[in-house]
């Protein structure tokens, strides 16, 4: 029996829609990261980007456990002098819930060359339906 190593051209991609309403942020992000890396399929090849597309709906209704609403901080730098920004999870979820979901899913993927393409395949929205026509059931 031979080991099959799939090529980039032969990757079958699927669309998944995940509903984030009343789900814990980290647990949902772990499931999304698994789908983006395709570790749930037998065609998984570590050095080839074989991931599927994931759309997360109801991102504004995600839950956090414990005191994370006030203790969890999102940090970034704008690129300008003195441009270090820091926002609590509660305020970030009110302003941009899509970014909270994207950062959580990105943090659960390995930092390799396949990570940037998987970031573009994860989309989130605060609406109840998917904005992407191919992902509508």
All structural domains of the chain, each given as residue ranges with its CATH number in brackets, are: 8-65+97-129 (3.90.1180.10)
In degrees rounded to 5, what are phi and psi of residue 84?
-75, 125
What CA–CA distance (Å, rounded) separates 116 from 49? 10
Name the nearest CA neighbour of 51 among 83, 88, 14.
14
- Between 111 and 31, the more confident residue is 31
What integer pLDDT is reported at residue 27 of this predicted model?
92
Burial of residue 23 (number of CB atoms within 10 Å: 0-12, 13-18, 19+): middle
Helix (H) or strand (E) holding 122: strand 122-124
pTM: 0.78
Element (DSSP H or E) covering residue 124? strand 122-124
- The 10s digit of each residue's pLDDT in 50-106 is 778 888 888 889 999 999 989 999 999 999 999 999 999 999 989 988 888 888 888
16 φ, ψ (degrees, to nearest 5): -120, 140
More confident site: 84 or 126: 84
Question: What confidence score (pLDDT) does residue 115 get?
Answer: 64
Q: pLDDT (tens digit, 9 = 90+) per residue, 26-65?
A: 999 999 888 888 887 887 777 777 778 888 888 889 999 9
Instruction: Identify the three-state secondary structure at position 135.
Output: helix
């Amino acid at each position: 029996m031979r080991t099959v190593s799939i090529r980039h051209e032969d990757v079958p991609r699927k669309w998944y829609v995940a509903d984030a309403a009343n789900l814990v942020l980290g647990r949902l992000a772990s499931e999304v990261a698994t789908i983006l890396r395709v570790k749930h399929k037998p065609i998984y090849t570590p050095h080839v980007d074989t991931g599927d597309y994931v759309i997360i709906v109801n991102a504004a209704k995600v839950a956090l456990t414990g005191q994370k609403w006030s203790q969890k901080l999102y940090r970034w730098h704008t690129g300008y002098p003195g441009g270090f920004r820091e926002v609590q999870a509660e305020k970030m979820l009110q302003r941009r819930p899509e970014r909270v979901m994207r950062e959580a899913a990105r943090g659960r993927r390995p930092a390799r060359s396949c990570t940037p393409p998987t970031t573009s395949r994860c989309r989130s929205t605060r609406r109840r339906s998917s904005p992407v026509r191919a992902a509508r059931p």
